[in-house]
């Protein structure tokens, strides 16, 4: 009988001294990664005094305050305006994009296309970064630039947002009709 009592006492001590783990939340928990704000048919005007610099349109926008990031999806379109014109000088389209809310830099992703009306130049790539502070665009991916006089292909490029002054880092081919 003493053995039974000792075994019972030891087993109670062992089970009562175990550390209980609190429930842990997974990184993939949808409530941890849910946006703070969700909007549909988004339209944003970027202005400087009375001058409209750009108009951004997207089918969907999500703001993640903890990451300081806004994601845009369901077709993204941006019209860039020059200081002198009322009509867009250049148009950017992509499948989706995200904006760093701190720097206001935008990365366009998937079927990225920019067309400049003034230079009649079209750029296509898979990923593109627009840098807000310099108003320039760049990519480290494959790019194809079609102008009225030539087609240039390469890896990586940098340009102004109107595609009037650009350079390609690794030119892979030039075709002149």
**CATH code of residue 130:** 2.60.450.10
- Residue 15 belongs to a domain: no
Judge whether 25 lies within some domain: no
In-domain check, residue 160: yes
Is 143 a member of any domain?
Answer: yes
Per-residue tens of pLDDT for the chain, all 177 residues: 555 556 655 555 555 555 555 555 555 555 566 766 777 898 888 777 777 888 889 999 888 887 888 888 888 998 888 777 677 788 989 999 988 888 888 899 999 999 988 788 899 999 999 888 888 889 999 999 998 888 999 999 998 878 888 899 988 877 777
Residues 6+ apart with CB under 8 A from 86: none
Q: What is the Cα–Cα distance from 18 to 11, expressed in whole angstroms?
A: 11
Cite the beta strand spans of 12-165 per DSSP E: 37-48, 51-64, 69-80, 90-94, 96-100, 106-116, 121-131, 136-146, 151-160
Q: What is the pTM of this model?
A: 0.73
Q: What is the DSSP letter of 112?
A: E
Residue 113: give the domain boundaries: 30-175
What gap in Å lies between CA 96 and CA 59, rounded to an integer?
Answer: 9
Does 9 map to a domain?
A: no
Closest to 80 measured CA to CA, from 71, 95, 96, 91: 91
Q: What is the pLDDT of residue 70?
A: 85
Domains identified in the chain, total number: 1
């Amino acid at each position: 009988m003493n053995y039974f009592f000792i075994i019972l006492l030891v087993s109670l001590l062992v089970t009562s001294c175990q550390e209980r783990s609190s429930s842990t939340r997974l990184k993939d928990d949808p409530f941890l990664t849910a946006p703070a704000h969700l909007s549909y048919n988004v339209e944003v005007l970027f202005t400087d005094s009375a001058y409209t610099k750009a108009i951004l349109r997207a089918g969907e926008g999500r703001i993640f305050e903890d990451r300081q990031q806004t994601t845009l999806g369901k077709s993204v379109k941006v019209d860039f305006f020059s200081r002198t014109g009322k009509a867009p000088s250049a148009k950017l389209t992509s499948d989706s994009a995200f904006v760093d809310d701190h720097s206001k830099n935008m990365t366009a992703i998937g079927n990225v296309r920019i067309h400049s009306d003034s230079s009649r130049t079209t750029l296509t790539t898979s990923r593109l970064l627009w840098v807000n502070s310099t108003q320039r665009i760049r990519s480290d991916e494959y790019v194809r630039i079609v102008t009225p006089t030539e087609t240039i292909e390469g890896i990586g490029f940098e340009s102004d947002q109107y595609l009037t002054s650009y350079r390609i880092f690794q030119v892979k081919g030039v075709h002149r009709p």
